Structure 1
Amino acid sequence: MQLDALSLMTVAMVNLVTISLTLPPIMGRSLTPAARAAQRALLLLTGGWAALVASEYLVSSYVLSVLSMAGLSASLVMLHRALSGWLGPRPGALALRVLAIAMPLGYAFSFAHYPLRVGWSNFLLAAMLVLLARATLVARRHAGRHWRLLLLGCFAIMAVLTAARGVLGAFFTAAYPTFLSPNPVNIAAAVAVNMAVVLGTVALLVAWRDEADDRLRAMANTDSLTGLPNRRGFMERAEALFANAQRYRQPLAVLMLDLDHFKQINDSYGHDRGDDALRLFAQMLRETRRTGDLAGRLGGEEFCVVLPSSQRDTASGFDQRLRARLQQRSEEELGFGLSYSAGVAAMTDGDATLAGLLARSDAALYEAKHGGRGRLLMGDSGSGHTVV
């Protein structure tokens, strides 16, 4: 069967149109910025290819040709933005934007000089594809390996074939007199485009699914009212911090905190104000903790904080800072004072499990609440004594 470049390009355009029309209803409206950037990339790629095919059918239309180059360049920028959203900040973002602007501008100004415009456009497109391939290599966030490798392969193959097109058009015009020449490199590039469209779409869908799974996992581990880890999410991370402290023989302290007279707040001011109080307390915990400290809502008005590399003095200092901030902010934002009781336990050589450490801090909290509230007690072998 005879293959020609224009037929292969037309098939690629039809595939892109089909994918661009079917993906939005499949993915729905609730999209992250990364998923939305991926959708826009496919739309721009579809527009670029449609303009390119139309320009060939319309005898090398200048306007359509320039628009096709602009669409292709913009689609690569959007793909890079999607990768940044899924994988964390990617290198080469500024360079890619500069190339995306320079490529269609140079193509437009050199349109009358075939070797220059073909070499310019293909070399710059190849450079952008190399930057995209590089962006798939390292994931700073949790991300699947297989879809990144699939995208890497697509970008790398297209970069090589696009650069080869640039070499032929710029330096061997006789072998590559037009974009539709039946040159083996040209045919191979057109076939690769069709493969890249299908495989690249599969990779993007897998990336979107992985992101959706991560979001569901985060929602399952996060308290919807305060934004802090819930009991499940907190315990998973706290176990890891406890194991790390044991492994490296580092100190660790645990604070159990419970808002004082919370039922009275709900009864006197309403449940909405009670929710406001919980949100404010969670915000104060976030503002008071250090990088690496873990705070979570265990349920109701009970919270817990894990302080790695911390002794009793560190926990006491945390408690004092938190109380000072809470006293000031609660009066300002809630219109009434907010206080809490707390129990703290520092890890010892006898603590074999996190559960034992939590039990000691919880016992100290119990004594603090029944001993007058608004205080911090230290848990020591199941008994508590006043620290503050």
Structure 2
Amino acid sequence: MQLDFLTLLATTAISLFMISASLPLIMGRNISASARYVQASLLLQALAWAAIIASTYVPATLADRILSTVSIGCGTAAQWMNYRALAGWLGPRPWPRLLLVLVVATPLGYFLSFGSYAIRVGWANTLLAAVTLLVARATLQPQRPAETGWRRLIFVSMLTMAGLTLARGIVGAFTDQYPSFRTPHPVNLAFALGACVTVVLNTIAMLVAWRDEAEIKLRELAVTDALTSLPNRRGFEERAQAMLAHARRHDLPLTALMLDLDHFKQVNDTHGHEVGDRALQLFSRLLKETRRDGDLAARLGGEEFCLLLHSDASAGAPLDQRLRQRLRQAAPAELGLEIDFSAGLAVLRPDDTSIQPLLARADRALYEAKTAGRGRMHSATQDAMN
């Protein structure tokens, strides 16, 4: 069977247009920026192939020059979209400025050197190969949790296309075996076939990445309190167990502070639930601002919060006082009323086999603080203090 170069490109372009039209229906409207970048990339790739095919019908004209340059520009812009999608999924990627320079320089140099076939082919394909390599590199060393499978698929696809693109540039720039875009040279045919195959593979990989992103978001929603954005009880227990294991492994202290807003029901009854919600959000924000890096803050339910500190009991009272002072200053200004809280403190004991005994002691200390008049902290091993 003889492969026709133009037919392969047309097949690729049609596939890309169909995928571009289908993805919004599959993904829906409420999608992340990364998913939108993928959609934009596929559409730009489709436009790139459509423009280069159209240019073959007006050879050696101004229209040919413009359409060919548009094709190169859409192709590099599509790779920039892929890079941005990967950055959203994997965290900041290396060499974004270099990639952006190449994305702009590739079509610009192609347009300016259009009068020389060898120069424009060598320039465009070499820089396109470099752009593709940078996108392939962007799949490596993620800074956020990501499955290896889809990243490996994109890496292999991009690496393959970079090699074929570079080979195409070398043949076009330094030999007379590739005198025109439609020449059925083996390298040119391999490039067209590779483009057709990698479109499918990259689309599959991107869809898997999007699915993984959705699953991660669902997991985060399951362990995050919607009102305050703090971990909820489930999220707290998962992370607390990890902190306990770390403390045991490295022989570190661990201190729990149970916190409860005083007379919160009266706030809701007197000022309404909207003010009550704002009070919870304010307290959560101050809690996050007051804790140290590495400390775990969570909303366990209602007006009850918890702080888990990688410190001994001596860190509890200063933190309690800082938080209390900030709340006294912020509440009247932001809520129009004063609010306070009670706190119970407990430290990890050598015989604690899980986080639950520690939390139970802190909870009992919190009860003692409330019984003693609220607005204070009580330690499981000390008397109540103001």
Task: Establish whether TM, by shorter chain, passes 0.5.
Answer: yes
Q: Deviations over 1:171-194 (max 9, x none)?
A: 11x111111111111111111001
Q: Distance in 1 between matches of 2:385 and 2:197?
A: 68
Task: Quote the residue 2:236 is aligned against.
Answer: 234
Q: How does 1:153-192 map to 2 (within 5 A)?
A: 153-172=156-175, 174-192=176-194
Q: Residue 204 of structure 2: which of 178, 202, 205 is its match?
A: 202
Task: Give, in angstroms, the shift of residue 348 of structure 1.
Answer: 2.3
Q: Deviations over 1:357-381 (max 9, x none)?
A: 001100000100111000011113x
Task: Give, in angstroms, the shift of residue 385 of structure 1.
Answer: 2.1
Task: Quote the residue 1:22 is aligned against.
Answer: 22
Task: Quote the residue 1:307 is aligned against.
Answer: 309
Task: Quote the residue 2:327 is aligned against.
Answer: 326
One-letter code of the match for 1:19? Answer: I
Q: Distance in 2 between matches of 1:385 and 1:12?
A: 76
**Residue 118 (1) aligns with residue 121 (2):** yes
Task: Quote the residue 2:5 is aligned against.
Answer: 5
Task: Quote the residue 2:369 is aligned against.
Answer: 368
Could you tell me the percent identity over the aligned residues? 52
Q: Distance in 2 between matches of 1:207 and 1:58?
A: 40
One-letter code of the match for 1:341? Answer: S
One-letter code of the match for 1:288? Answer: T
Q: Distance in 1 between matches of 2:174 and 2:360?
A: 77
- TM-score between the two structures when normalised by the length of structure 1: 0.97
Task: Give, in angstroms, the shift of residue 59 of structure 1.
Answer: 2.8
Task: Quote the residue 1:270 is aligned against.
Answer: 272
Q: Distance in 2 between matches of 1:350 and 1:200?
A: 53
Q: Distance in 1 between matches of 2:322 and 2:117?
A: 70
One-letter code of the match for 1:39? Answer: Q
Gap regions ≥5 residues in structure 1? none
- TM-score between the two structures when normalised by the length of structure 2: 0.98
Structure 1 segments, 4+ long, off by >4 Å, are: none
The two structures, once aligned, show a CA RMSD in angstroms of: 0.9
One-letter code of the match for 2:378? Answer: L
Task: Give, in angstroms, the shift of residue 44 of structure 1.
Answer: 1.1
One-letter code of the match for 1:158? Answer: M
Q: Distance in 1 between matches of 2:47 and 2:319?
A: 57
**Residue 103 (1) aligns with residue 106 (2):** yes
Task: Give, in angstroms, the shift of residue 387 of structure 1.
Answer: 3.9
Task: Quote the residue 2:283 is aligned against.
Answer: 281
Gap regions ≥5 residues in structure 2? none
Task: Quote the residue 1:135 is aligned against.
Answer: 138
Q: Deviations over 1:218-262 (max 9, x none)?
A: 011111111111111111011110111011110111110000000
Q: Tell me which moved more, 211-220 or 47-56.
A: 47-56
Task: Quote the residue 2:44 is aligned against.
Answer: 44
One-letter code of the match for 1:368? Answer: A
